[in-house]
Structure formats: structure tokens, C-alpha cells
Structure 1
Amino acid sequence: MHLRHILIIFTLASCWSTVSGVDLAEARKRLGTPDPATIPWPDGVPPSQALVDLGRTLFFDRRLSAKQNQSCASCHNPELGLSDGLALGIGTNGNRVGRNAPHLYNLAWSTVLYWDGRMTNMDEQATKPIQSKSQMAMDLGELEARLRGVAAYRTAFHSIFGDPAAPADGSAITRERLGQAIAAFERTLVSRDSAFDRHLAGAKDALMPEAVRGLDLFLGKANCIACHSGPNFTDDSFHNIGVKSADAGRAAIVPGALAQNAFRTPGLRNIALTAPYMHDGSIPTLEAVVRFYARGGDAPTPDTLVRKIDLSEGDIRDLIAFLSALSDPLRIPIPAVP
């Protein structure tokens, strides 16, 4: 092989590893693709398929709400990016819920839950919206009795949790196991095959040029990486980003000036599917979100990460292209609810 050919090949390889200023090694290190092998399963053991299937059925069952008119999927709809497309959700009694319904993608790795981080355990959190007066408003004791009246649930809970020598009389159905089953299903909602992930894996045509430029901005001038880091694009921390709101946010859980009006950083996977945005659903589109950050927010904030960013119209389009390249909508089989 001639030296000239060797130089051409080397040059092409160099251009591939650094496109529009983006070093793929840096992107893999600071972002990356989630690895299901690293999910911190309870007790270090993945759930059985039977438990996941039970959790999926419960997730779609309207019996879990007081008026039997809502399921978990009502606010976390697979067709709407595991959210509901509303600024503020609607409870079983027709009332507005106080905050935007967050998506559920890749929560298996989350160390804090809810916008204010009030919980850390998914098994325990799974039953909280069921009990919440503003959401599903269901007494858990009544729910246990309701589910024990369904033969399919008596059989399923007994086969997973019950004593094989005992009858399937419904005694295996408890609120703790209900939460365990739903959380087991939710931990399987892993998004990891977006155009961005294929780009990191070496697919040269996975990202359009504008998305590659957007990645460069995300890591560089726009500094989105400061909060939206790691394979799930979140630092699992809390920030006051300058949204005009009377909601105390994290400060209601952990008092302090920096916690005032601070909310959990949402993961960005499938972000193009989960509008509207922010804890109150006050920003309708991704373009509006990018412009919000470019002007440094709409309210004073002590968070030094929030500042004006000099973005051109082309920069804004490129960032939106990159964020859209994080889409990997999951195909979730809808179960036949008994």
C-alpha cells in the first residue's frame, strides 16, 4: 500500500473520531449508552419474568384507582413518551395534579424519585400515586381486597410469592408486593438504542450533521452536560433553573436557599416525545426550552450553572436535532387486564 493511501485512511479515521469538534471518546466517557447489566436490582437479583409480567398488568389496570377510571398508564402512557402530554396531570376525581407527570425511562438507575426527590426506593414509590388523594385516591387496604377478588391475580401472586403447599386464597396479595411488581416492570423500561447510541457504537450515518453539531454544543458552548450527564443524561441532582414558580421544590424536603425552587434534573432520553416540559409543564416545545436556557431562564436563580448563552438560530436548530436523536420509543406490549 502506498504511503499516500495510508495517509488518506488515517485522515478519514481521524475525521470520524472527531466530527465537528466532537471527540467520540469524550462523548462515550461523559454520556454513553446505558448497560442493563449495571441496573442496581433489589438484593442484586433481576426479577423473574413472571413478576415483570404481573407488574405490567397492574400498571395498566384501572382497578388501582378509587373510581376505576385510571391506571398508572393514564399518566405514563407509552404512546406519549411514558408521560401524558399535559402540563399538569388529571387525578381520578377530575382534579389537576400539582406537577407535570415525568417520564419513566431508565428510572432503574435513579437515586432520587419525584421532582423534589422525596423518595429513593422504587418499590415503595410505586404505591404512592395510588394512595395520593390528588391522583388515584385509592386506599391500599381496599385495593388489596379488590385485587383478591380477581382470580387471575390470586393465582399470579400466589405462584410468585405464596407457599406452594397453601391454597391460592389471595393472602399473597399485599401492598408491598404490589409495589414490588410494578417497580419490577418499571425497571425494564430501558431506552438505549437511539440514533445517538448507534453513533457512539460506530455507525457513521446514525446522526445527521446538524445533530452532530448539536452534540458538540451540548458538550461545549451550551454546557448542557453540566447537569444532563451520564448515560441517562441526568446528574440526579436538583437545580433552580429560573422557572417562574411558587413551588418550593426541593426546599420542601431539604430546607435551604439553594434548594428553593430547585427540581430534579430529568433524564433526556426520548425527550422529544415528552412535551410539555419543566416541573409545571409551562414550556410547550423543545425549541422553547432551548430558547429559555439561552436567555438564562425567566427568574432569578442562585445556581451559577444557569446563565445566558449566545446561541445562533443555527445553534438552536442543531441542539434540537441532537435532542431529537435521543429518541428510542419502547414497544411495550399492552396486556390483557383480567
Structure 2
Amino acid sequence: MVVCSPGRFPSAIRLWPCGIRTAITLCRGDSTLRLALILVLVAGAARSEVPTPVTDADYMPVSQAEARLGQLLFYDPILSGNRNIACATCHHPRFATSDGLSLGIGEGGIGLGPDRKPNPANPPEQRIPRNATALFNLGAREFTILFHDGRIEADPSRPSGLRSPLEDDMVMGFASVLSAQTMFPVLSPDEMAGHYQENDVSTAVREGLITGPGGAWSLLAERVGAIPEYKAMFDAAYPEIAAGRPIAFTDLSNAIAAFIAFEWRADRSAFDAMLRGGPPLPELAREGMDLFYGEAGCAACHSGRFQTDHGFHAMGEPQIGPGKAERFESHSRDVGRMRVTNREEDAFAFRTPSLRNVTATGPWGHDGAWSDLSAFLTHHSDPSVGLAGYDRGLAVLPSLDVAKSDWEILDTPDEVGAIEAAAVPGRPLNPAEVAAIIAFLESLRDQGAIDGRLGIPQSVPSGLPIDR
């Protein structure tokens, strides 16, 4: 049994017996005592089941009229405050629905992917604090919680059916969690809204006007609805709009969700073919699969048909960039799930990503700190080695003149200690095992899904330029 110092939470003690990762954490605040018990399989404790094949029943149905409308909206910069950024700017098929950067540049940037850089005429205020997540299979029914910290999730007990930071102000009409997640980027000054007084949307956001007449969502819906081609497509997709109901922001988001669900369904990989009775995987990939579902313990978290348990785990990842802080906060910390739940046991825990097309979606980690998949897996398998050996050259960060150092957390021993103390122990992988697991992960690649089914449109109804 090993007793580990908890670092950031000075009254905590963690006990790790052999065979099962069991963490008993006692955290004393001013006058409170909190007991958290976490049980997960340790590497080698048990073999996980290889999943059954994905079927059509695993996905929500998609309207083609909605998907084709959503395709145009996804690539149209009209949804950004300054009409200069589209959803596709940070989630582009050229970069497997991400942007190829550790931390992206939204408002104030020019260019695409790793070539994106600050606009000298209107530079960004900061980097986007987290890595742009991939969009594969988000139309599957099991994806009921999204974002690295899970801040949007299905909740049937609420009138809207959703739990989100808007709480009681959450409007009705979002068809799914996937639809609701579109509301965040368009409201973020650093992502799509723009900064205060640059445009009507950013001004509304700054003044707290999100929903209702004159709110940011209404302004965007009115922009789109004023374009005849869009209005005709909304009429065709939604009979109630054709009958006279005004276009709402939820209609825009529902169409975008339909497009994402249709465009990036990924279940035609070599692994899927094998599960359906097709050719076996190459030898090295088979070795990696045996490790993944066996001794290496990867499937303890990366389980199920899409290789995710949709849970949250602290894996001791290096924290780079501005962190997840409010404007009035001065730190560069990102405590992950704890920011949503306010529970200390969730500190530095982030959602388990699906591994479909993962070999194409780097850089990896919640903040994209790793541009080398081998290095990432080596650290990920054994967080106990700590962060001292992290190579900062693995971060893909365009030059940006900002007040906060990208390395503030890594340069602060107490902050590093807190991240390391929260991490669950792992089973170290040797280089040959890492290579085998990467070969297996490559078998999860569905190139047709990466390329997309509808593709990039030739033009969009607003007439604005498209990121290609």
C-alpha cells in the first residue's frame, strides 16, 4: 500500500492498495469533512470486453433537410459577432474536425489550423483555454454529456431537459445535448462573439443579454433569417417556420447538430470491419488491441463502442495556456470537472474522450499539451512520473503577446504538485507496447468520416468567405 501526499489539499490522504485503484480522500475545509471513494480497475486486474459492433440503432435519426441547412451554417462566418469566424474555423475536416493547435485562436486570428496567427490590426486578448475537441459520433445516443468538463448534459428533471451554466435561463427548443453545445462558442468573446462594443452580439453578451428580444441569440437568428436563401431552407426543414413562426437560435443549433451527426458518423474503420466479421487486424494492431482491452487497462475508461465511459478522470496532464478562469480571476489554473461540480474530488478531472480517429486529432489532452502521440501515451499510462520531464516543445502554440505566460502553472511548484497528487496511478508502458497500442488506435480511423459526407460547400448564403 502506498500513501501519497495530496499536494493542493493539505489535509487529504490517499491510500492505493494493489490490484484495485481505491482512493479514499479525506478533505477538511474550515469546518467540513468530505469523504470521497473512487473505485476503478487497475491495469491487469481484469480483462475488459471488446465491444459489439456499432449499429444504426446507436444513433439518433437525422433529417437530410436539417443536415444540409446545418452544413451551410457550420461553414458560414455569419454566426460570429464580427462575421469573421465559423464553427469550421476551429473544427475543420482538414484537421480531423479540430484545428491542429494545442490552444486555438478565435476572435482576433487570421488563417486556418497551425497557420492561424494573431491579426495585427485586432489581436486576440488570449488563447482559447482548452483544446478544440473532435466531433465524431456526437450524434450517437450515448453522448449525453459534452465538453472537457461536462458543463452541458442531459437532465430529464429540468424543463429544458438539459443542465447547463445558464441554469433556469436555459430556453426550450434545443433538440439534444449536441444542439445545445453550439450555444457556448457564439457567446464567448474569445471564440466567436468578439469583444465588447465590437459588434451588436458582443455588446449584448457583455450586458448579459443572451435570451429574449435583443439578446445575442435573437440577434444571430435575425441575421440568418434576413437572408432569403436561408429563410427558404428553414421553411423547408421546419414546417412551423413555414407556417409563420420566427426563426429562433434553437433552430440554427438544431440544424448544425443534425449536420454534425450526419457528417462525422465514424463507424467504418478496420476495427469496425473486424467486429462485423471482416478481415482481422494486422498483427501489431492485434497486439495493441490485446493490451488495450487487457493488461494495459486502457478500456477501464476507454470502454464501449466508442471507447469512452463518458466519465471524468484526473490523469496528471500538464496545464498550459491561460487556464479556465473568469475575467476577474488572475490564475491560470484549470480544475476541470471541479469547475462544474464544485467538488474537490473532481479536481483536475476531464472527460474521457472517444478514441475514434484519435490518431488524426492531435495535439492531445484537454489543453493539447502533447503533439506527439507516443509521448502522450507514455505519460498518460503512468502519471506518477510527474511533469518535470514534460517537453514544452510539444505544445503547438502560435506566437501571441499576452499578459499571462503560457507556462505559469508549470513554473509554479505548488500548482504542479496539486495536479500530480490528483492523478490516478497507472501501468507504465514500454516503447514496444506504446507502438502496438498506437497501431490499434490507427485501426479506429475512418477516413471517410474524417473527409465528411457532404463536405465543404462551395459557398454560403451570406456570401462571406469560407475556411478551406
Please, what TM-score do these two structures have when normalized by structure 1? 0.83
Whichever residue aligns with residue 146 of structure 1, its letter is R
Query: Quick check: 1:113 aligned with 2:142?
Result: no
The corresponding residue for 1:135 is 191
Asked if 1:251 is matched to 2:318, the reply is no
C-alpha distance 318-176 of structure 1, shift in aligned 2 (>3 A)? same
Return the alpha-carbon distance in structure 2 between the equivalents of residues 54 and 165 of structure 1.
Answer: 15
Q: What residue identity is the alignment partner of 1:83?
A: S
In 2, the alpha carbon distance for the partners of 1:142 and 1:129 equals 15
SS of structure 2 residue aligned to 1:89: coil
Structure 1: how far apart are the matches of 2:86 and 2:133? 15
1:58-95 deviation per Cα after TM superposition (whole angstroms, max 9, x unaligned): 11111111122211111111121111100011112333
Map of 2:134 onto structure 1: 103
> For residue 271 of structure 2, what is the amino acid of its counterpart?
F
Tell me, in whole angstroms, the C-alpha distance in 2 between the residues paired with 1:118 and 1:160: 29
Aligned to 2:433: 315
Does 2:408 align with 1:289?
no
Report the alpha carbon displacement of residue 286 of structure 1 after superposing the two structures with TM: 1.2
Q: Kindly tell me: are residues 164 and 216 of structure 1, through their superposed partners in 2, closer, same or farther at Cα, counting changes over 3 Å?
A: closer
Q: Distance in 2 between matches of 1:267 and 1:67?
A: 33
The residue number in structure 2 matching 1:196 is: 271
Corresponding residue for 1:16? none
Among 259, 279, 282, which residue is 2:366 paired with?
Answer: 279
Q: Return the offset for 1:312.
A: 2.7
Assess if the C-alpha contact under 8 Å between 1:241 and 1:301 holds in 2. no
Query: Quick one: distance in 1 between partners of 2:347 and 2:62?
Result: 38
By how many angstroms is 1:164 displaced?
8.1
Q: More strand by proportion, 1 or 2? A: 2
SS class of match (2:97): coil
Per-residue deviation, residues 98-136 of structure 1 (Å, max 9, x unmatched): 100000101123121110000022222122211222211
Deviates more, 1:142-151 or 1:49-58: 142-151
Q: Which amino acid is the alignment partner of residue 107 of structure 1?
A: L
Deviation string 1:12-37 (CA, Å, 9 cap, x unpaired) is xxxxxxxxxxxxxx88x543432232
The reply to whether residue 337 of structure 1 matches residue 460 of structure 2 is yes
In the TM superposition, residue 272 of structure 1 has moved relative to its aligned partner by: 0.6
Q: How many residues align?
A: 301
Of 323, 330, 348 in structure 2, the residue corresponding to residue 261 of structure 1 is 348
CA, structure 1 residues 287+165, in 2 after alignment: closer, same or farther (shift >3 Å)? Answer: closer
Decide whether the 8 Å contact of 2:236 with 2:242 is kept in 1: no
C-alpha distance in structure 2 between counterparts of 1:301 and 1:234, whole Å: 24
Instruction: Show the counterpart of 2:235.
Output: 158
Matched with 2:304 is 230
Residues 217-237 of structure 1 deviation map (CA, whole Å, 9 limit, x = unaligned): 101121000100001110001
Distance of 1:212 and 1:158 partners within structure 2 = 50
The residue type equivalent to 1:48 in the other structure is S
**Distance in 2 (alpha carbons) for counterparts of 1:235 and 1:243:** 19
Check conservation: 1:240, 1:258, Cα contact below 8 A.
no
Alpha carbons 1:158, 1:172 under 8 Å: kept: no
The one-letter code sitting in structure 2 at the alignment partner of 1:312 is N
CA distance in 2, matches of 1:70, 1:32: 40
Please state whether the residue corresponding to 2:247 is helix, strand or coil.
coil
The whole-number CA distance in structure 1 between the counterparts of 2:345 and 2:150 is 14
Q: Judging changes above 3 Å, is the alpha-carbon distance between structure 1 residues 211 and 149 closer, same or farther for their aligned structure 2 residues?
A: same
Secondary structure of 1:146's aligned partner: helix
AA in 2 matched with 1:334: I
Runs of 5+ unmatched residues, structure 1: 1-25
| Structure-1 separation of matches of 2:151 and 2:90 | 19
Match of 1:177, SS?
helix
Please give the secondary structure, in 2, of the residue aligned with 1:187: helix
Partner of 2:71: 56
Q: Which SS does the other structure have where 1:263 is aligned?
A: strand
Deviations 1:204-228 (A, max 9, x none): 3x42110000001101121000100
Amino acid at match of 1:193: R
**Scaled by the length of structure 2, what TM-score is found?**
0.61
Structure 2: tracts of 5 or more residues without a match: 1-46, 110-123, 154-176, 194-200, 202-215, 320-332, 387-418, 462-468
Query: Structure 1 counterpart of 2:185, which letter?
Result: P
- Partner of residue 87, structure 2: 72
Q: Could you give the per-residue CA deviations for residues 281-305 of structure 1, whole angstroms, max 9, x where no partner exists?
A: 101121111111233353524454x
What amino acid is aligned across from residue 153 of structure 1 in structure 2?
A: Y
Shift of 1:324: 1.2
Distance in 2, matches of 1:72 and 1:140, equals 15
The one-letter code sitting in structure 1 at the alignment partner of 2:420 is P
SS of residue matched to 2:190: coil
1:253 match: secondary structure: helix
Instruction: Give the deviation of 1:165 after TM superposition.
Output: 7.2
